[in-house]
Amino acid sequence: MSDVKIVKTLDNSGLSCPMPVVKTKKAIKELEVGDVLEMISTDPGSIPDMEAWARQTGHELLEAHDEGDKYRFLIKKTH
């Protein structure tokens, strides 16, 4: 955790499916390879969706946390 430097934070609070993955994709596109994106969401489907999204795109899901009232993800751009 300590060696991960978050380059950008994207807050998708209040947005429903499919917006968290759509906006994550857009944000990742603008980063450099190796950059880490922090994504916050409140959509209860976010964890399985972000896991699937990472498997499909090949970007690395470093963390996926359920923090009660929100979900927090760290995604590393791999390509």
- For other proteins, the closer of residues 3 and 69 by Cβ is 69
17 is catalytic: yes
- Among candidates 58, 21, 4, 61, which has minimal Cα distance to 12? 21
Q: Residue 63 CB, nearest distance to other proteins (Å)?
A: 20
Q: Which of the following is catalytic: 6, 11, 13, 17? A: 17
Q: Is 43 in the site for other proteins (CB under 8 A)?
A: yes
Enumerate the active-site residues.
17
The residues of the shown chain that bind other proteins, judged by CB under 8 A, are: 14-19, 21-22, 24-25, 42-43, 49, 52-53, 56-57
